[in-house]
Amino acid sequence: MAGKFECYTDKKGEFRFRLKAGNGEVIFSGEGYKTRASCDNGIASVQKNSGEASRYERKQATNGKHYFVLKAGNHQIIGQSGMYASEDAMETGIKSVMTNGSTTNIQNES
């Protein structure tokens, strides 16, 4: 099963998206947006940039866990992954976003 984007409204009333892998696991999340159109633009940016390895910035949190952010061509952060226990697991997460990020399957959850 292929990946999909889910667009939803959070508790603050902001629009957000998450990218899920084919197994249903959330692999990437976007920031909060004031409008649905802006959220759709965020999804379009993931679709456009997720296939380029140079767009991923690897990071380590103060607790030692690893995560990554995906940046657009203008160097703005589009969103980030969850936390990973190891660098290898983070690299697997990046590969999953590279594979699933171009999906056109978008579902509204709100």
Taking only the tens of pLDDT, the chain with its 110 residues reads 689 999 999 999 999 999 999 899 999 999 999 999 999 999 999 999 999 999 999 999 999 999 999 999 999 999 999 999 999 999 999 999 999 999 999 998 86
Six-digit token pair at 43? 């999804």
- Domain ranges for the chain, please list them: 4-108
Give the pLDDT confidence score for residue 32 in this predicted structure. 94
Phi then psi for residue 83, to 5 deg, are -90, 140
Buried b (16+ CB within 10 A) or exposed e, 11-45: eeeebbbbbbbeeeeebbebeebeeeeebbebbeb
Domain 4-108, what architecture?
Roll (2.30)
Give the pLDDT confidence score for residue 109 in this predicted structure. 80
In angstroms, the first-to-last Cα distance of the chain is 23
Using DSSP, state whether 55 is helix, strand or coil. helix
